[in-house]
Amino acid sequence: MSFTELGLQDDLLRAISTQGYTQPTPIQQKAIPLVLAGRDLLASAQTGTGKTAGFTLPLLQLLNNGKRPGKRQVRALVLTPTRELAAQVGESVTDYGKYLSLKSHIIFGGVGQNPQVQALKNGLDVLIATPGRLMDLQQQGHVDLSQVEILVLDEADRMLDMGFIHDIKRILKLLPNKRQNLLFSATFSNEIQTLATQLLDNPALVEVAPRNTTAEKIEQSVYRVDREKKRELLAHLISQHGWFQVLVFTRTKHGANRLAEQLSKQEIPAMAIHGNKSQGARTRALGAFKSGDLQVLVATDIAARGLDIDELPFVVNFDLPNVAEDYVHRIGRTGRAGSNGEAVSLVCVDEHALLAGIEKLIKQTLPKKIEPGFEPDPNAKPQPIENGRRGQRQPGGGRGQGQRSSQNQRQGEKSDKAPRRRARR
Ligand code: AMP
């Protein structure tokens, strides 16, 4: 199937070929005609499936055929959980809309609001926003959401994880009743289903990867190793196999910093990216990583959300995530549209229960490896897992918490809104 057959206009087809895409991905094949037909959508798709173009292309076409926005008005609102994802969607809107004369802008917290207020003044065809900053600007009267024609919730599960449900509900009240709604989520908790029921009108269901399973193109493996040997093993694997563009996940910001420093000392260029870094520092690190100057990027879960990195070959779980679903999100960074990827997890004795939770979720037993010279001590005793806050221990020894609130695990992280403590289910 070609993009032409999906009913897209010439100006969009030109932009698509400038991007070098020859064929629509499965989510694009399914979603584009449905969105063009004006349907509400409930789409299950992970990052890497081409979902952004799946909603951006038809959205631009629908907007291109309509009237321009009035002062402070917005015609299409895309809500994203993080600034990185907002930036990525914004980039797609600019890229795919380069031959159209639609106005778009991104707004998120952590930066000055004046340029955002200026951009909103004369109205926007597409506004991409994180919920917290959007509410701030709305309350100050800088944005009028009463004329929104299309609403997109991107990575809705992540928005709920980050405690944005109240902002989302307040935003929904500001929108007109008659509008088109598109909801994208990688996972489907009960909360997401409740939100979908409230939000969507007779939605078409689009599913490209089975729920809570990982993409087949990702080769996954687990190295069993002692807690204290993880860093050395990681340096060894990177050097031994000549891995480049390695995205490494750690549980804590402190752990990310420490690991990046230690790898750099061993002449493996590495930088950490997390919520305490300024937007500028994050953008620089990401830029260096994408351009290939930086071999390793060490990230925490929240900071990594929405990172747009094409064909990322390696993802390493230096620490297993406390929430099993985060494993699916993390490794979704690799094996992206049309390329293969490898996801390696370094697992010590403390993390066996977490590993079991992940294997249950993805319905796979992951192959276990032991690297010669890094054999784990068979008599090692598990220790409680360190929480996001330095030195703080999780109750219950930090094990068996596959269903625990991801919010609690991320309390040391900074998003553009203070996280709210709550049970996930
Ligand atoms: P996404 O899932 O939206 O984050 O997209 C993942 C990556 O796939 C992005 O870097 C896109 O540039 C790329 N992509 C999207 N659509 C296509 C396509 N039809 N062919 C090849 N690459 C694509």
- Give me the residues paired with residue 342 across strands: 219, 314
Report how far residue 224's alpha carbon sits from residue 378's, in angstroms, rounded to the nearest whole number: 11
Using the mean position of ligand 1's atoms as its centre, give its distance from the Cα of residue 14 in Å: 16
Report how far residue 385's alpha carbon sits from residue 396's, in angstroms, rounded to the nearest whole number: 10
Using the mean position of ligand 1's atoms as its centre, give its distance from the Cα of residue 312 in Å: 12
Report how far residue 249's alpha carbon sits from residue 237's, in angstroms, rounded to the nearest whole number: 15
198 by DSSP, 3-state: which? helix
Q: Which protein residue's CA is at the shortest distance from atom 17 of ligand 1?
A: 50
- Beta carbons of 302 and 164 less than 8 angstroms apart: no
Ligand 1 atom closest to the CA of 45, numbered from 1: 2
Using the mean position of ligand 1's atoms as its centre, give its distance from the Cα of residue 101 in Å: 23
Above pLDDT 70, what percent of the chain?
A: 86
What's the mean pLDDT when you consider all of the chain?
Answer: 85
Using the mean position of ligand 1's atoms as its centre, give its distance from the Cα of residue 266 in Å: 34
Report how far residue 113's alpha carbon sits from residue 139's, in angstroms, rounded to the nearest whole number: 13
Res. 211: pLDDT tops 70: no
Using the mean position of ligand 1's atoms as its centre, give its distance from the Cα of residue 337 in Å: 6
Res. 113: pLDDT tops 60: yes
pLDDT at position 417 is 39
- Give me the residues paired with residue 219 across strands: 342
- Which residue in the block uniquely carries the two structure tokens 């070098």? 20
User: pLDDT: is 413 or 261 the higher one?
Assistant: 261
Using the mean position of ligand 1's atoms as its centre, give its distance from the Cα of residue 53 in Å: 7
User: pLDDT: is 273 or 140 the higher one?
Assistant: 140
For 57-106, give the DSSP string: HHHHHHHHTSPPP-TTBEEEEEE-SSHHHHHHHHHHHHHHTTTS---EEE
Average pLDDT over residues 404-413: 37
Range in 51-60, 128-137, 285-294 with the lowest mean pLDDT: 285-294
Ligand 1 atom closest to the CA of 48, numbered from 1: 2
pLDDT at position 148 is 98
19, 182, 331: residue to mutate for ligand 1 pocket, most atoms within 8 A of CB: 19
4, 52, 59: residue to mutate for ligand 1 pocket, most atoms within 8 A of CB: 52
70-93 per-residue burial string, b: 16 or more CB within 10 A, e: under 16: eebbbbbbbbbbbbbbbbbbbebb
- Beta carbons of 93 and 104 less than 8 angstroms apart: yes
The tokens for 346 are: 């370094």
The tokens for 77 are: 């609102």
Res. 92: pLDDT tops 70: yes
What is the tens place of the pLDDT at every residue in 18-71? 988 888 988 999 999 999 999 999 998 877 788 999 999 999 999 999 999 999
3, 311, 336: residue to mutate for ligand 1 pocket, most atoms within 8 A of CB: 336
The tokens for 387 are: 């929480």
Ligand 1 atom closest to the CA of 3, numbered from 1: 19
Using the mean position of ligand 1's atoms as its centre, give its distance from the Cα of residue 124 in Å: 25
Using the mean position of ligand 1's atoms as its centre, give its distance from the Cα of residue 21 in Å: 8
Ligand 1 atom closest to the CA of 25, numbered from 1: 19
183-219 per-residue burial string, b: 16 or more CB within 10 A, e: under 16: bbbbbbbebbeebbeebbeebbebebbeebebbeebe
Range in 92-101, 224-233, 243-252 with the lowest mean pLDDT: 243-252
Domains of the chain in start order, with CATH, are: 3-207 (3.40.50.300), 218-412 (3.40.50.300)
Binding-site residues, ligand 1, Cβ < 6 A: 21, 23-25, 28, 47-53, 308, 310, 336-338
Q: Which protein residue's CA is at the shortest distance from atom 5 of ligand 1?
A: 50
3, 21, 208: residue to mutate for ligand 1 pocket, most atoms within 8 A of CB: 21
The tokens for 20 are: 């070098």
pLDDT at position 309 is 62
The band of 335, judged by pLDDT with boundaries at 50, 70 and 90, is: low
The tokens for 264 are: 């750099």
Burial class (CB in 10 A: 0-12, 13-18, 19+), 101: exposed
The band of 112, judged by pLDDT with boundaries at 50, 70 and 90, is: very high
- Beta carbons of 320 and 327 less than 8 angstroms apart: yes
Using the mean position of ligand 1's atoms as its centre, give its distance from the Cα of residue 85 in Å: 14
